[in-house]
Structure 1
Amino acid sequence: MKSKNDWREVVQRVVKSEMSMRGVKYQGLSERLAAIGVVQSADNLRNKINKGIMGADLLLQVLYVLNARPLNTETLQAVLDDFESGQ
């Protein structure tokens, strides 16, 4: 069974991966969110993402503005496997 911290690590890794793939920094993410009416400072986003703690609504909004790849169980399992193997 995966712990709450394992799932938080998955959130962190998925969001950071999507940001990295698109070359988006926290300020850019903040600006993209503002464009859809979501106000989050870059510092606030950094804290939430680094801790892997955010509401489902914010997670979906972040994935939306990043035009993220589809998430499925295989993707989540791969992230969990990488985490468990220490990568």
Structure 2
Amino acid sequence: MSAKNAWRQTVARVIKSEMSVRGVKYQDLSQRLAAIDIEQSADNLRNKVNKGIMGADLMLQVLYVLKARPLDAAVLEEILTDLQP
């Protein structure tokens, strides 16, 4: 897996993990974002999260509305290590 794909998979795993912990579905996430004036459809969010491709601003907005746990380098390193063949 290329470094670029590994980082995209890391983004996807972080977001999906935070959604799972809180029992948040994509429609819920869309509504939470709308509450802070960010318009993203559930389908659009699903595509962006699954591909791990989103701007830094949207990623921060998603983590904010999910009230995500602190994210540190150790967590990222663990995910990246898991993705290695």
> Normalising by the residue count of structure 2, what TM-score does the alignment of the two structures yield?
0.95
In structure 2, the residue matched to 1:47 is 47
Letter in 2 for 1:20: S
User: Which amino acid letter does the alignment assign opposite residue 12 of structure 1?
Assistant: A
Q: How far apart in 2 are the matches of 1:84 and 1:3?
A: 10
Question: Structure 1 length normalisation: TM-score?
Answer: 0.93
Letter in 1 for 2:47: N
The CA distance in 1 between the partners of 2:78 and 2:3, in whole Å, is 16
- Kindly report which structure 2 residues correspond to 1:65-76, keeping only aligned pairs within 5 A, or say none: 65-76=65-76
Give the counterpart letter for 1:16 in structure 2: K
1:32-73 Cα distance to aligned partner (Å, 9 max, x none): 000001000000000000000000000000000000011110
User: For the residues of structure 2 that align with 1:83 and 1:22, how far apart are their CA atoms?
Assistant: 24
Aligned partners of 2:83, 2:6: CA distance in 1, in Å? 8
Q: Which residue number in structure 2 is paired with residue 34 of structure 1? A: 34
Q: CA deviation at 1:84?
A: 2.0
Q: What RMSD in Å do the two structures reach over aligned CA positions?
A: 1.0
CA positional deviation for 1:80:
1.0
Give structure 2 stretches of 5+ with no counterpart.
none
